[in-house]
Amino acid sequence: MIREQGEVADRGGLVRVLSDGALAGPVADGRLIPVLVIDTAGRPDIRELVRQHKHFSPGDAKHRWATSPEDEDLVVLMLTFDRPSEVDVVLAFSIEDEGILVDAIVRCGMVYLQPGTERSRVSTTVGDPKVLVELPDTGFGPYWDSLFEKRMANVIAAQMKVSSGHAKSRAKEIIAEMRQVTSLRIGV
């Protein structure tokens, strides 16, 4: 079960993220927008949504972030597309392994979804169809900041065998350094 900041939701129909990257361009004033290559082998509806988007843009989509009381490393992004067709996409992320990716998505407020295969890489499939999803702030930002920091501190404390105070300050440093990269603007 997933808790969404006080609510509980089912985790079903997860779509795997195969690889990720970032694109910059005039869309967001040169900001790097995260790109998620997702496994749509069993989801022809997602592939069809991306195909439809080529002709009917912008569409309508809602999103919600969720965490799990049973797994402190898990954060979930639930997307509900309404137009041009009705499709649900649920993406799960490991904070330890993909925290910086989630951080980039939360801070940028946008993400590209690109149907792909195991071999797809963003750098080699730049021209492939993808859909840009806007994720307006829902108040998850501050909650995410503290969650990210806490999880990274726990990981550092466990791996480096240091005190929690030291791990916490080290986690803040690491996160700040990573954010310097993800907040780059190109061509502006």
One-letter amino acid for residue 144 of the chain: W
What letter does residue 86 receive in the DSSP assignment? -
Q: Is 85 in the site for another protein (CB under 8 A)?
A: yes
Residue range at the interface with another protein (CB under 8 A); choices 27-35, 53-61, 132-140, 142-150: 53-61
| Nearer to another protein among residue 86 and residue 177 (C-beta) | 86
166/150 Cα distance (integer angstroms): 12
**Binding span for another protein by CB under 8 A among 8-16, 28-36, 81-89, 117-125:** 81-89
Residue 52 or 80: which CB sits closer to another protein?
52
Measured from the CB atom, the residue of 38 and 157 that comes closer to another protein is 38
Would you give the DSSP letter of residue 31?
Answer: B
Contact residues for 177 (Cβ-Cβ < 8 A; gap 6+): none
129 contacts another protein (rule: CB under 8 A): no
Q: Which of 8, 14, 56, 186 binds another protein (CB under 8 A)?
A: 56
Among 7, 26, 55, 146, binds another protein (CB under 8 A): 55
Of the listed pieces 18-26, 78-86, 100-108, 110-118, which binds another protein according to CB under 8 A?
78-86
Nearer to another protein, 57 or 164 (CB): 57
Contact status: 115 vs another protein (CB under 8 A): no
Provide the H-helix boundaries in the chain.
44-53, 95-108, 140-160, 164-182
Give me Rg for the CA atoms of the chain.
17
Least distance (Å) between residue 131 CB and another protein: 14
Query: Distance between CA 146 and CA 10 in Å, rounded?
Result: 24
Q: Which residues of 107-126 are buried (b: 16+ CB within 10 A; e: fewer)?
A: bbebbbbbbbeeebebeebe
Residues of this chain that interact with another protein (CB under 8 A) are: 44-45, 48, 51-52, 54-56, 83-86
